Structure 1
Amino acid sequence: MYAISSYLQIVKMVVTSVVIGVDVGGTNTDAVIVAKSEGNLKIIAKSKTQTTSDVTTGVTKAIQLALIASRKENVSLVVQQVNIGTTQFINAVVECKHLVKVVVIRLCGTASRKLPPFSDFAKRLIESVQGSVFMLNGGYQFDGQAITPVDEEEVVRSVEILKAKGEKNIVVSGLFSPVRREQETRVAEIIRQHLPDASITVSHEIGKLGLLERENAAVLNECIKPLCSETFMGLRSALDRIGLRCPLFLTQNDGTILTYEKALRFPVLLFASGTTNSMRGAAFLCGITDALVVDIGGTSTDVGLLLNGFPREAAAEVKIGGIRTNFRMPDVMSIGLGGGSHVSWSTKKGKSQMTVGPQSAGCRLLSEALVFEDSSNVEGRIVTATDIAVAAGMADIGRKENVAHLDRAFVDEAVQTIHGMLTVCVDKMRLNNRELPMILVGGGSIIVDKTATFDGITEVIVPDHYDVANAVGAALSQISATVDRVVDLEQYISQQEMDAKLSSVLKASPDVSVEQQKDMTDRVKTEIYQRAREGAIREIITTTTTTTTSTTTTTTTTTTTTTTTTTTTTTTSTTTTSTTTTSTTTTTTTTTTTTTSTITTSTTTATTTTSFTTTTTTTFTTTTTTTTTTTTTTTTTTSTTTTTTTTSTTSTTSTTTTTTTTTTITTTTTSTTTTPPPPPPPPFTVTKNVFTQWLLLQLIAHIGGHACFTNIPCFYGILTTTVHVYLRHIFLGHLS
């Protein structure tokens, strides 16, 4: 009878695909299991455990507890992926622990030498991370003109010095490298040739314009790579021990995820992921896209603004451990207030006042808080914010009798102090007078009086699963790719149109003051430049989308289009190439409105078998014309036993500018068809018609993200597009 009932129970179990989200905080490690059922996301199980010093132990325990809790749902889980966010790396920088010394090679010529690397690092951090510094020839002006060319022999001499010193963690930073990255890339290649085991960070892959900030971010990235590698290997081993062979992803600062391999290259992108996870988890749990999110943990409180479901990005420089950086980070205000914060009376300037934090019990909360101790051992102990919450009746955890001896005036004053600290944060983080709801999440949110009011806040919301919102956000993290372009907006502006609008505005208000006239003209110019910016963005998106479409059609077109797009900044050239496998020659010419591409191709093809190897030498001659272009093609074919030689000559009638680029491409094809073979199955479910786009998206994750996609069907919905300032576009889509 037992066997039959067990069999029936197994039959009734439902197979469900799930994602596990984990967030490692300073006090607790949280895990959730999220499934998609009938189009809706459902939290199947959750767990919370204390963070351990080695991170891996706490993560393993949290996942195991969540998997055990999921058994109550009578479901058989198929874990598609595990997303993990951790604060370990930013804590290492703040505490100056587990860091390595970093060499900085700056390509600057004679410029910027008065502001050397590590200029604004704190003394304690300099002692931990500063290695050798080289100021070499190279660098660019803001318009992409080289200050001086790279002296390759000088670079080699510098590498020999590093060999002798045994320094292997290197940052290559060039002036205006986000505008042109060729010099940084070439120097990195030279270093790898002469020092194969070197770990290298090139600054243009980390930050934006701003030499010192970008260089600082690259140094932070390089100094924690060994810790990152050790941690990730431990996490991967932990998942293997549990029996999870699924992909491992790490959550990054902007609410998206990095592959395990890319996270090893760019650990600095993971610094603020914990805060972002909490904010996005709060948005999901409440179904609200615009709100102020207050995440209170055991040690600290983070307050951020949620716009359209994503954290507002910091527009200016961001300081990490007191160091200025300029890469993508959420705009968050943090204070030393949490569930483990110490509460006491202190004397300042002869006056007694209530103090809450920043000292905290942290991960020792279960052993230091009064409500978790034996009632016979509470006199004279430090009071925590959690004890205050229980004494005030705001929380029902632990032993209430342990805090019954606390003076009521002391408790009330502590509650008011906590409210005052949050009020200051809320006022500073609001954009304007717009009223917004406030979402309270995090295990430490029990210390907030929910009946209190805040200026500009319509309501205080505490959602279900508020205590694991950070892990929920990690599970929901999306995949992303970034495209950075520097565009001259003058190309998109008609000076005649601007002059006409300015004249019209000034004529309409002839009696205004000079200051008012200036304001009016500034508004007109701003409007025109904004339109030009939007036009540039649309063009970039359209160009990139077209490139993606061509890529999915033929292998040859993919190679040619990628090369042209990478090497040309002001001319878009579309090339259609056809391969001849018999003695018949087919020539296809595609001409844009202002650009004619002439291609001379020498091809040797083995026509005796269906499989062929083609070696193609292609010369691209781009001719810009202002008149109608007439193309005449003369084809001469000479046949031998197995070789066909095709010569194509093209002439144009008018030429104003000529740019010549020679590219040698070797292509090996196993089939006469132009359709590439199907890719291997991805680690998560993707519909068949987006296999190629999925592969390309994975390629982006490894080459630095210099392409973008739209409308990729994914696990949590359709890919969306978010446009950021400086024509930087982040294309986001949910993983399955």
Structure 2
Amino acid sequence: MILGIDVGGTHTDSVLMQNGKILRKSKVMTDKSDLLKSVTQATHAVAQPEDIKQLRRIVLSTTMTTNAVAQHQLDQVGLIVMSGPGVSHRDLPLSDKTTFVRGYMNHRGLEAEPIDEDEIIELQKEFARKGIKHFGVIGKFSTRSPAHEQIIQALLIDDANHVTVGHRLSGELSFPRRISTAYLNEAVWSLHSTMADQLQTYLKQLGVDVPLYILKADGGTIDVEQSRHYPVQTILSGPAATIMGVLPFVPTNRDSVSIDVGGTTTDIALFADGAPLLEPKGVQIEEHKTLIRGLLTHSIAIGGDSHVRVIDGQLAIGPERKGSAMAFDGPVPTPTDAMIVLGLANIGDKAKATAAIESVARDLGKSTEQTAQAIMDLACETIAAKVRSMIAEVNGKPVYTIHEMLEGKVLAPTDAIVVGGPAPYMAKQVGELLQMKAIVPGDSDVINASGAAMARTTVELTLMADTEERQMSIAEEGTQADIPRNFTINDLIDVGTERLKEIARVAGAPEEDIEIEVADSQSFNVIRDGSTTGKNFRVRLQIKPGLTKHVTAHATAN
């Protein structure tokens, strides 16, 4: 059995699954002040003591780190950056929060200027006076050689709560994105570490010894202890859970769109020939462009509980959510109230829903029925318009899926998979507006929890080799090794494959889920005095994202 839990801003959903089937499901209110309480309640709502003894894994997705970034509830971070020449500090992100220091590596990973250790020691004293205990250390070419980052980390670590070094986050070279990623990783580290402590307590209370995973932005899982080092990877975990939950219902031979209508927001994702689209450079959250590998999703501030009102004679929905629908004793009218008035949803108190819509109708000068339909029309058209703009945006650039770049691909979705609480009431109209077949999967109200439960563990690794220097490095691990002059790119792939298998096993991946693919490979000649003196190789390997082999697809849409 597998237990999947999605900790949302309003509800914590849980599912108990076996062989790809949901045995039980539940929704409990999220206690934002006590994550442990919410997760424990969600577990006992679906699992009896005899079920808990049969668990093979527990997977949790959460909006905690995402909300912390969105609400600017972040720890203060001492950012230390080695930019070297050729980069204007003003052009780098977070420059107002950054201290730039001497020392840098060149593009081949060779030291061009040494670190001034006295400068770092004085800087450490200044940070101590300010009470700063979290640090991010980033060098422009640290993926080629992490030595400078490691030196500074060693100087800071005794007085720090935690230090994030840039080379550990990604093997990609993008320096500005590396700065933002290191900053966010450190800014949410304490929050995430506290959550990890609570989850370990939760496991002890359950009395079981099973793997506990957190869902990442790329739709893969990471062991809870491993996640302490990389909490930034759990940002946008919620939308990723939706995509993994929807995946069994996505036609494999057609393009599709998924629309997750929540209480506050609607999350939209796209699929090309059945594969989710990926952010090729890394996800963006708020103003931060990162190197976080993540699935491509867009959110709009409209949902079933969005505040409905009239502004300057015009109907407006959202962006605020002030509480539940008035049919459930909430404070303001919502689209859910309109659905109840129209007879689309047989939930809540219809008299209270009618009173809610009547208050809007008076301001519009329309009947209650007309107003309810106008609210539905505006909500559905807003969602459809966002889907259209997202498709147009994607078709204006290369299409990347979680497995490959599709050269010349023009996305033309024919199916709309609509999930979330309001899905059954909105799917038909949204599908008609988009001229797509609307699909509402069973148990769509807990799709995030089932998506988390079914996701497999994903890990990636970036390796580089310089046959002239006879050096090979693994970027994310900060390790280097000697290689012979006749070392080839296939040799590099072989080394990376074996190391990735080891990492995946430590991260908790079962053997049947360790499917390794080459996500990127590059080879360049080193030319000196008109002659080739060596080669530079770069490869990126990954565990193929998807659903764990522990489950079988519980639906097929063809």
Would the TM-score normalized by the shorter structure come out above 0.5? yes
The runs of 5 or more residues in structure 2 that have no matched partner are: 358-367, 396-409, 492-497, 523-538, 551-558
Equivalence map 1:487-526=2 (5 Å): none
TM superposition shift of 1:721:
3.0
Which residue number corresponds to residue 319 of structure 2?
358
1:372 aligns with 2:328: yes
Instruction: Measure, in 1, the Cα distance between the counterparts of 2:174 and 2:461.
Output: 18
Structure 1 residue 463 and structure 2 residue 441: aligned? yes
Q: Secondary structure at the match of 1:183?
A: helix
- 8 Å CA contact 2:256–2:415 kept in 1: the answer is yes
User: Are the structure 2 counterparts of residues 89 and 358 from structure 1 closer, same or farther at C-alpha, using a change threshold of 3 Å?
Assistant: same
Q: How many pairs were matched up?
A: 490
Deviation at 1:441, TM superposition (A): 1.0
When residues 439 and 570 of structure 1 are mapped into structure 2, their CA distance, relative to the original with a 3 A threshold, is: farther
2:11 maps to amino acid: N
The residue aligned with 1:662 is none
* TM-score, normalised relative to structure 2: 0.78
Aligned residue for 2:404?
none
Aligned to 2:42: 62
- Residue 693 of structure 1, CA deviation: 8.7
CA distance change for structure 1 residues 387 and 446 in 2, over 3 Å: closer, same or farther?
A: farther
Which one has a bigger Cα radius of gyration? 1
- Cα distance in 1, alignment partners of residues 190 and 370 from structure 2: 51
Out of 487, 505, 521, the position equivalent to 1:572 is 487
Q: Which residue, out of 226, 230, 239, partners 2:194?
A: 230
Q: Tell me which of 82, 89, 94 is aligned to 2:65.
A: 89
- Distance of 2:549 and 2:160 partners within structure 1: 34
- TM-score, L = length of structure 1: 0.60
Q: CA RMSD in A?
A: 3.6
1:248-397 pair list within 5 angstroms: 248-285=212-249, 290-307=255-272, 310-316=275-281, 318-347=283-312, 352-361=313-322, 364-365=323-324, 369-373=325-329, 382-397=332-347
Larger RCO (CA under 8 A, 6+ residues apart)? 2
* 2:55 counterpart of 1:79: yes
- 2-structure distance, mates of 1:178, 1:732: 23
CA shift for structure 1 position 199 = 0.9
Q: 1:166/1:234 Cα in 2 relative to 1: closer, same or farther (>3 Å)?
A: same
One-letter amino acid of the counterpart of residue 267, structure 1:
P
- Following the alignment from structure 1 to structure 2, what is the Cα–Cα distance between the partners of residues 412 and 563? 59
Q: Does 1:31 align with 2:10?
A: no
Instruction: Compute the displacement of 1:213 (Å).
Output: 1.9
Q: Are 1:392 and 1:411, in contact at CA under 8 Å, matched by a contact in 2?
A: yes
Q: Residues of 2 paired with 1:203 and 1:399: CA distance?
A: 54
Return the letter of the residue paired with 2:44: Q
* Deviation string, structure 1 residues 513-538 (Cα, Å, up to 9, x no partner): xxxxxxxxxxxxxxxxxxxxxxxxxx
Partner Cα distance (2:321, 2:438) in 1: 25
Q: Distance in 1 between matches of 2:24 and 2:352?
A: 32
Local SS of the residue matching 1:566: strand
User: Cα 1:466–1:487, aligned 2, differ >3 Å: closer, same or farther?
Assistant: farther
- Once residues 249 and 24 of structure 1 are traced to their aligned partners in structure 2, the CA distance between those partners, rounded to angstroms, is 13
CA distance in 2, matches of 1:65, 1:455: 38
Distance in 1 (alpha carbons) for counterparts of 2:241 and 2:9: 15
> Given residue 103 of structure 1, which amino acid in structure 2 is its aligned partner?
G
Letter of the 2:21 counterpart: K
Q: 1:44 aligns with which of 23, 47, 51?
A: 23
Residue-by-residue CA offset, 1:457-480 (whole Å, 9 max, x unaligned): 531100101111100110012112
Q: CA, structure 1 residues 85+76, in 2 after alignment: closer, same or farther (shift >3 Å)?
A: closer
**Superposition deviation, residue 145 in structure 1:** 4.3
| 1:569–1:409 CA distance, 2 compared to 1 (3 A) | farther
What residue is the counterpart of 1:697 in the other structure?
504
How many angstroms apart in 2 are the aligned matches of 1:184 and 1:457?
53
The one-letter code sitting in structure 2 at the alignment partner of 1:62 is A
Cα distance in 2 for residues equivalent to 1:449 and 1:338:
13
Q: Does 1:732 align with 2:544?
A: yes
Q: Any conservation in 1 of the 2:461–2:500 contact (CA below 8 Å)? A: no
Aligned equivalent of 1:443: 421
One-letter identity of the residue aligned with 2:162: S
**Pair 1:199 & 2:162 matched:** yes
Change in CA separation of 1:108 and 1:564 when aligned onto 2, cut-off 3 Å: closer
Using the alignment, how far apart are the partners of 2:30 and 2:267 within structure 1?
Answer: 19
Q: Does the 8 A contact of 1:27 with 1:297 survive in 2?
A: no
Who is 1:721 aligned against?
517
**Distance change >3 Å, CA 696–CA 239, structure 1 → 2:** closer
The letter of the residue matching 2:262 is G
TM-superposed deviation, 1:723: 2.1
Is 1:103–2:86 an aligned residue pair? no
Q: Which of 78, 90, 95 is equivalent to 1:115?
A: 90
Equivalent position of 2:185 in the other structure:
221
In 2, the alpha carbon distance for the partners of 1:418 and 1:312 equals: 25
Q: Which runs of 5+ in 1 are unaligned?
A: 1-17, 121-125, 492-539, 545-561, 575-591, 594-690, 703-708
